Amino acid sequence: MKKLSHLNLDAPFFQAPLSGYTDQPMRILARQFGAPLTFSGLMLDKSVLAPGVLEKPHYAVIDQEHPVGAQLLGNDPDIMAQAARRLCDYGYDLVDLNFACPAPKVTQKQRGGFLLTQPDTALKITQQVRQAISCPLLLKLRIGYDRSSQSQENFWYICEQALAVGIDGLVIHGRTVQGRYRDRADWNIIAQVKKRFPHAFITGSGDIFTAEDVADKLAHYDIDAVLIARGAIGNPWIFPEARALTSHLPKPPPPSLTEQGQTMLHHLDMVLRLYPTRKAVPLFRKFCVHYCKRHPRRKKTQSALISAPDPDALRLTIRNCYGL
């Protein structure tokens, strides 16, 4: 059992924040399949403070999800602190500050990964958010803005000073902001962070596509937990598989086609309950592309699923393709 502040987490891997994916249905599915903690996608501080926004499908949290972390994006320490307080009051169990996002539309507005070039602002935000909330606080950061020595200096300075103001842990994505997703994640730097701050809760992220990757990173890098990001899209089975391997138990057999189809129908139902049909169907198509990866006739199944125009057609196609 791992303890992250007062949260008891019974497995050392979490559902990562994934903007555009980790809405309530994906988080519930991850919890039902065995993720001990999930995160929302990034939420802009100003949006969180707008009236009624937290009740919208993108942000809503329900009882069966806990514990769930809210990921917060912004660059103004006062607004970030108010938004973090609002998220905790609303029911999120943890706040995670995003100093990682490499998307140009985010960095151009001096948010996300850009803040790795502004260590004083990053620390001011961290400090003010820490003072504003009592629920656990994490920072998610990449290993630098780029590979320059100034970037490395900023990275270590932010890690050290943020821990000194009392954050509860660091989530390190082992790529630079400029590296986006091109390079392989550098797990040696993630391990160095744990070595340098052995009492801090360190979670690593990058290139986790299978349960074997989860077990391998935990075994070799001496960190506290691993984020499962792209590896969990349309693949909730990665959670029971990772539970087995990290407990030194045999990996469960792959899900049968019937089980895959039933899970897709369950996921689709949750999506349809939360969103209007015109949003639900295109959203679920994104997941279909990933669910299909386990299907023996992947291409044919994918094209049938993504051309289904409405919920009834989608359900029927899932039943036909998965033998239900």
Which residues contact ligand FMN by CB under 6 A? 16-20, 41-42, 71, 98, 100-101, 140, 173, 205-208, 227, 229-231
Which is nearer to ligand FMN, 13 or 322 (by Cβ)? 13
CB of 20 to ligand FMN, least distance (A): 6
Which is nearer to ligand FMN, 176 or 317 (by Cβ)? 176
Which is nearer to ligand FMN, 100 or 225 (by Cβ)? 100
Quote the CA–CA distance of 9 and 121 in Å, as a whole number: 31
Measured from the Cβ of residue 296, the count of other Cβ atoms closer than 10 Å reads 7
- Per-residue b or e along 49-85, where b marks 16 or more CB atoms closer than 10 Å to that residue's CB: beeebbeebbbebeeebebbbbbbbbbbbebbbbbbb
User: Active site residue: 101, 135, 292, 321, which one?
Assistant: 101
Contact 143, 192 (CB under 8 A): no
Note the Cα 198 to chain centre separation in Å: 23
CB of 230 to ligand FMN, least distance (A): 3
Which is nearer to ligand FMN, 95 or 321 (by Cβ)? 95
101 carries an active-site annotation: yes
Q: What would you measure as the largest C-alpha separation in the chain, in angstroms?
A: 57
CB of 98 to ligand FMN, least distance (A): 5
Helix, strand, or coil here: 199? coil
The residues, any chain, with a CB within 8 Å of residue 123's CB and separated by 6 or more, are 158, 161, 162, 165
Helix, strand, or coil here: 50? coil
CB of 61 to ligand FMN, least distance (A): 16
**Active-site annotation, residues:** 101
